[in-house]
Chain A
Amino acid sequence: MSTLLTCDSLSMRFGGLVALNQLSLAVSAGEILGLIGPNGSGKTTFFNVITGIYQASEGRVDYLGHDLARMRAQDIYRAGVTRTFQRSRLCLPLSIFDNLMIGNHRRLNHSLWFNLVRRSAFRAQFEEQYAQALALVRTFSQSLAERLFEAAGSVNMIDRRRIEICRALISQPTLLLLDEPSAGMTHEETRELMDDILIVREHMPGLAIIIIEHEMNVIERITERCIVLNYGQKICEGPYAQVAADRQVQEAYLGTE
């Protein structure tokens, strides 16, 4: 498969702290890549750098001819990279549909004229988007699909996570970044969610996913390849079974004796 994203000696420093150290990696279109490593190893920082929330100290991130390390967050989103957050960042007072439409921003018309005056055109766009949102949420959960106009704060954790993933998916991105989707969920809920993600991928075969996870059975089940970070550096790369057997990786997690 063709390469979608290439990081070249990417570094991120906060004062004296080196959160990412000369990281290089590549992601192919349609691949699911697992990103693992102990707490504080730089996984979320990596997401924040390639989504433009942090500005990289040095290095390049090549994505379809753009250098993500030099772009603003909103332009990176427009180029088709979306994400979920480790801690839920839904707008809880807004309806589920509203939250999805926040994720759909790049496909909506935001001109004052369109929104205020051309209400029938707005109506058409609204109905079209509603149909798409409904279809997407249905692949995850029928009961959730029936509650699209209730406040996002009124649903439970797993449904909130689903909404977050739908929000990242609805604009049909080419690269999806999932930051610990299983955080705060039971094993059963995690399994359900992974089923959902696999279903989504069947619908969107070109979509590449990078997933940060601490649940190793999740990583084992859904990823094709893993990268292990420690102290901001890549210490190992390969299929899960191979990575799990690596001595350096075991030391990073368990410490040296």
Chain B
Amino acid sequence: MAGVTVFAVLFLHAESQEEVMGLTLGAAAALLLLARFGWNALAAVSFAGHSRTGQAAVLIGVLIIAAVFYDQHFPLLMLASVLLYIVVCLGLNLQFGYAGVLNFAGAAFFGVGCYTAAVLTSHTSLPHLAVVLIGGLMAAGIGSLLILPVLRTHGHYAALVTIAFSILFRVFLEVNDTLGGPQGMKVQGMEILGWKLNDSLAFGEIEISFYANYVVLALVMAAVAFMLVRRLERSWIGLNLDAVRLDETACAAFGIDVARWKITAFTLGNFLTGLAGSVYAMMTGFVAPNSFTFGDSLILVSIVILGGLGNPWGLSVAAAIVLMLPEKLQFIQEYRLLLYAALVILILLFRPGGLMPRQVRSYLPGWKP
């Protein structure tokens, strides 16, 4: 864990392209070496076993990274974005990693959260915590408009529903003048109980970037979402979701209410996505339709698949890689979509379980028969 933290610090710190490239290759080599000795399996087991310590180590790691870059905007913005994307991908993971409900409109639901924040902060004086909550509820609510066609249809037909929605949403934003059209909208910075997140903190000489506030907030959100999803997976509900994904006929024969669990997963997933979206909008101060394209939805899907469907740890790592690599390796930036798409194809062909395949469910951390 300490190693990973140091690496992340170095990575975010690296300025020149060569440094970044070197670090990336180094990490890849280290991972291959680990895999060669079967250490990653060991790490997976130890994650499962010493869940508490592992989680605490990750939290501390993130805080250390934030502390190292306390006065720089960009790395902190990056860090907070990764954390918020993790929340989104946890939501998507609930939907198609567990319940098997395809959602190719992840970016659209994220956009619902963003635009809710934009509209509510500029036209009302609602407390911002309530705005975030409403952002989540709006995404869940709009999702529930889609749930009927999603439930009535299967497989490919259901995929069409979310794809159609994803495109519809983007076009809607572009032509809708009250939402700013293609130019988008400005969003106010966040304020929780008098704590203005957009003000830099200063302790005497030391001035801390205001993004540090958002890192803390995003970290709390990611941690809570992570815990929620983990608990869900390690429960009868997680089992129901898996069963719904794997065999609907068997579900019916054993009393599992397919519709109920699909709705639960879809709504909860969209709620998380909407929450993250509204915080993200307040952090960046600006929303525009261009950030919510079908391509962005596909990137979200790639993250979940790359990490390993159903594995929250895997998707967290994948989110960090997918978001940070193109930012740091400028020459990748232009090619990132091509690169990820090709990578996902390779994964699907040769390692369908993703980089960190999901393990068999253990209901209680550390429990042994």
Q: Report if A and B touch in the complex (beta carbons < 8 A).
A: yes
The chain A residues found within 8 Å of chain B, CB to CB, are: 51-53, 72-75, 77-78, 82-83, 85, 89-95, 98, 101-103, 105-106, 108-110, 112, 115-116, 119, 122-123, 126, 130, 134, 148-151, 167, 171
- Tell me the smallest distance from the CB of A126 to a CB of chain B, in Å: 5
B237 is an interface residue with CB less than 8 A from chain A: yes
B residues 242-294 in Cβ contact with A at 8 Å: 242-243, 246-247, 249-257, 264
Question: Contacts A109-B236, A115-B237: A98 and B242 contacting too (C-beta < 8 A)?
Answer: yes
Contact of B242 among A75, A94, A109, A167 (CB under 8 A): A94
B243 contacts across to A, CB distance below 8 A? 91, 94, 102
Flag whether B363 is at the interface (Cβ < 8 A): yes
**Residues of chain B within 8 A of A52, CB atoms compared:** 252
| Chain B interface size range | 20 to 34
- Please report the C-alpha to C-alpha distance between residue A72 and residue B253 in the assembled complex, in whole angstroms: 9
**Complex: how many Å from CA A103 to CA B243?**
11
B256 touching A115, Cβ below 8 Å: no
Which chain A positions have C-beta within 8 A of B237?
110, 112, 115-116
State how many angstroms separate the Cβ of B136 from the closest Cβ of chain A: 16
The verdict on A82 contacting B253 (CB below 8 Å), with A112-B237, A149-B362 known, is yes
Which B residues, 227 to 243, have Cβ-Cβ distances below 8 Å to chain A?
228, 231-232, 235-237, 239-240, 242-243
B251 to chain A, nearest CB (A): 8
Give the docked Cα–Cα distance between A91 and B256 (Å): 14
B364 at the interface (CB under 8 A from A): yes
B360 part of interface (Cβ distance < 8 Å): yes
Interface residues, chain B, with chain A CB atoms under 8 Å away: 228, 231-232, 235-237, 239-240, 242-243, 246-247, 249-257, 264, 360-364, 369
A-B contact pairs, 20 of them (CB 8 A): A77-B253, A78-B255, A85-B253, A91-B243, A91-B247, A94-B360, A98-B242, A102-B251, A105-B255, A105-B256, A110-B237, A112-B237, A112-B264, A116-B231, A116-B235, A116-B237, A122-B235, A123-B364, A130-B369, A150-B360
CA distance A92 to B247 in the complex (A): 10
- A151→B360 contact, CB < 8 A: yes
Are A91 and B255 in contact, CB atoms less than 8 angstroms apart? no
Cβ-defined contact, A91 with B254, below 8 A: no
Q: Is the pair A73, B252 in contact by a Cβ cutoff of 8 Å?
A: yes
A105 close to B254 (CB less than 8 A): yes
Bound form: Cα–Cα A150–B362 in Å: 10
A122 contact set on B, CB distance < 8 A: 235, 363
Inter-chain contact A126/B239, CB cutoff 8 Å: no
Residues of A within 8 A of B228 (CB): 116
Q: B249 contacts A89, CB within 8 Å?
A: yes
Given A105-B254, A134-B369; 13 other pairs, CB 8 A cutoff: A73-B253, A77-B254, A94-B239, A94-B360, A98-B239, A98-B242, A106-B255, A110-B236, A115-B235, A115-B236, A116-B232, A149-B360, A149-B369
